[in-house]
Chain A
Amino acid sequence: MYRKSLGMAVAISFWFVQNIFAHTLFISPPATGEEINKIVADAEEGDTVLFRSGHYFVNNIIIQKSIYLKGENSPVLDGHGKYQIISIESNDVIVDGFKLINTGLSDMFEFSAIRIVNSRRVSIKNNILENVFFGVYCLNVSQSSISNNRIKSNSIHELQSGNGIHCWKSDSLHIFNNYISGQRDGIYFEFVTNSFIERNISEKNLRYGLHFMFSQYNNYSHNIFSNNGAGVAVMFSHHVTMYKNIFAENRGESSYGILMKEIRDSKVEKNYFTKNSIGILMEGTSRINVENNTFESNGWAFKIQASCEDIMISANRFFGNTFDVATNGTLVLNKFSGNYWDKYEGYDLNKDGIGDVPYRPVSMYSMITEKIPYSIMLFRSFMVMLLEKTEKIIPSLTPIDLKDDHPLMKPPEL
């Protein structure tokens, strides 16, 4: 105990000492790119570099020491449409309160507003990024946070746009309260582990709101993903937790609330899916708990391919979806139990709140549209209604085993 507090005291005094010798360097307009680079290069460990408000044209400010880059009243750092704006190559750097605009655009080099390479404990906060190729670009970064940033571009082509927050081979990141729109992917994760993505809004991106590959032990919660070209994709990962996110209005031919491909041992809980073409698409996934989610007014609430196994779908609420569940085969290795389906027509004689007849959520016509897409033209016609009723009595096309044996009579409380 004593040794521990002594160690603490030494650490704190070092911190003080360091702070006593730290300086604040000021930069005010009209500083040129070279001048800024020189001041930043001359700064010592622990210094603060304060930018007065104004408009600066910069050419890749490279930070190789642990300094605090602070903007006063959102000074504008303008990359001229040619350059990268800030590169961080050191631990313990803070970039706070800037407006970063006009990065270069290139096919060879991934220009970004803020590029962080091989660093730890970096914090990027309260910045506004506009018209950027890549927003914040992390390569081998750990224990860092990206928060309260606003990233907004107006990309038109997928090939000529970059990601809002791009993270590669990183660990323990905390990404929260950001707003991202008009990029290629809102947030892009590849080989990222133990990270939290919280309370972000990612909308109107060209491809995915969140793109997630080979990233284990991550948690994303309370985010809003809406109007993205293809929704959210989570692929080739395990131990991912998705909690209380909103997936809305991701519409199009291959657009999903969440696309889950080759995922295992994960949780999808208390999310809200609304007005998506497909709420959740699962392909080759296993051991996933889908619980307490709400699916409302989607085209297909849930598409579960026959390649999935041990998916547990329980206590979800399905309202007003065109089709509740669709699948592409008759093999069923998953379990539906205790969900609320608004299309359920059964009865509950013993009044325990659980329907007495099983509910088969796969409608015949969703199987047919799976095979012949434009047959949706006949949907809701008298003919199709009759066919559906016959199929309900004697199932022939739909998988017999895909059923909810304990459908709820009333939607469960969340």
Chain B
Amino acid sequence: MLKIFKYVFLDIIRNKIVLLYTLALLIISLSMFNISESPEKAIISLLNIELIVLPLICGVFSTIYVYNSSEFIELLVAQPLRRVAIFRSILFGLVAALSFAFLIGLGIPLLIYSPDSTGFIFLLSGVALTACFTAFALVAAVYTKDKAKGIGVTILLWFYFTLIYDGLVLFILFQFGDYPLEKYMIGLSCMNPIDLVRILLLLKIDSAAIMGYTGAIFKDFFGSGMGTIISGSVLLFWFVLPAWLAIRKFRRKDL
């Protein structure tokens, strides 16, 4: 298993697109930190990259990678290897390589300009999002035979989690704004990894405003040790669930 993992990892790291992705992240974040007056402002701009660009790139790249290496996968399957092991090495290879790219691209500037808890949470949640969206991509790639359709499904998933879901929540907020929805809001935010990451970072960046309004429940939940553990495990769940779905399908799939 480790051998396949190593192969996948090295293969992706040398990939031109991933190199470009790393370089782009590096340039963008360095210039953001240099342009803005304070590191906080740069982090706000980088937040959009982490929440929008990162899931898209990870998702689409992983889908394409799986389709493109279908012959390699067929070759592996022909060997006396367990399918689960093959699949896992591909998944972890992708996650590791893309996280590596992210950590180089954003981690270095963050360590230089904002080496505090905000930067640390920023990096961790970036890795978590990378893992989640790679797993989503594998679901799309495993469940659909056609490449174009698979990419379409990934983009649709990305679209749902970045935009449509928030629109739905906003709709609920407007419709039921008169009711005490605070507790349900925590539940709703756990249903979307991007939202969860955004709120975790919001608590750091806009803490003054958060303290001002939603006050008790919200801050208590996400700010406390227990809340951090829960949100961490929810993020893990968002990786495990699609990974499990994909593995289940892949085991019996007719390649």
A residues in contact (CB < 8 Å) with B: 251-253, 255, 275-278, 297-300, 319-320, 322-323, 342, 369, 371-386
Contacts and interface: CB of A to CB of B under 8 A. Distances in A.
A134 to B, nearest CB: 30
A299 B208 contact: yes
A252 B214 CA distance: 10
Which residue, of A372, A378, A385, has the highest number of chain B Cβ atoms within 10 A? A378
Given A299-B206, A383-B167, A378 B214 contact: no
Nearest to B217: A374
Interface string B200-215: 0010001111111111
A251 B210 CA distance: 9
Interface stretch (B36-44, B116-124, B135-143): B36-44
Interface residues of B, number: 39
A253 B173 contact: no
B85 interface: no
Contacts of A371: 177
Contacts of B185: 374, 377
Interface in B148-206: 162-163, 166-167, 169-170, 173-174, 177, 181-182, 185, 188-189, 194-195, 198-199, 202, 206
14 contacts: A277-B208, A277-B211, A299-B211, A319-B37, A371-B177, A374-B213, A374-B218, A376-B202, A376-B209, A377-B188, A377-B189, A377-B218, A378-B166, A378-B169
Contacts, number: 108
Pick the most buried of A275, A323, A372: most chain B CB atoms within 10 A of its CB.
A372
Contacts of A374: 173, 181-182, 185, 213-214, 218
Nearest to B186: A377
Contacts of B206: 299, 322, 379-380
Nearest to B184: A374
A248 B38 CA distance: 18
B47 interface: yes
A374 B209 CA distance: 11
A384 B195 CA distance: 12
A194 B194 CA distance: 56
Contacts of A383: 163, 166-167, 170
A251 B202 contact: no
Given A380-B198, A381-B162, 12 more contacts: A251-B208, A253-B211, A255-B212, A297-B208, A320-B41, A374-B214, A374-B218, A378-B166, A378-B173, A379-B202, A381-B194, A382-B163
Contacts of B174: 372
A281 to B, nearest CB: 11
